[in-house]
Amino acid sequence: MSCNDVMIHLIQQVNTWNTADNCPNGAGEKCLYSMTSQEIDKLVVTHETPVHHYIDTITFTFMGSGSSCSVHGYSSSNTWYAVLDYSTNYCNMRNLLEGANLHTTAGFTETTSDSICTQYSNRNCDKY
């Protein structure tokens, strides 16, 4: 899939989950995403947690050629003391990928670990 197509899918998913409608009574985190900026090779998105209203900033950087795209994702809490986040920052990105069905794209791979994403091995993206 081209980087432009990946970007379009992510933007559509952010727009689909931009209200609290998908998180009734604060259940789950698949809501309250907002576009911050878009460049030819970068998207910046925010995610607001529905219960405590913490804001996380997510950056996707795209590098590709033709029908191949490599995406580097980085999510960080805007709250300085949020170090052990129960994998929330990982799930901010993973939930968007799955919502857009990008994880089912031929050739999709993911590379991460606990040293890259805090508490990755204990993630629960249905909750966070």
Provide the whole-model pTM. Answer: 0.92
Per-position DSSP letters for 90-101, written without gaps between them: HHHHHHHHHHTT
Closest alpha carbon to 51 in 83, 85, 92, 23: 23
CB 59 within 8 A of CB 92: no
pLDDT at 9 over 70: yes
128 within domain boundaries? no
73 within domain boundaries? yes
Give strand ranges (E) for the chain: 33-39, 42-48, 55-65, 68-77
98 within domain boundaries? yes
127 within domain boundaries? no
pLDDT at 119 over 70: yes
pLDDT at 26: 77
- The number of distinct structural domains making up the chain is 1
69 within domain boundaries? yes
- In this predicted model, what pLDDT tens digit does every residue of 40-66 receive, in sequence order? 999 999 999 998 899 999 999 999 988
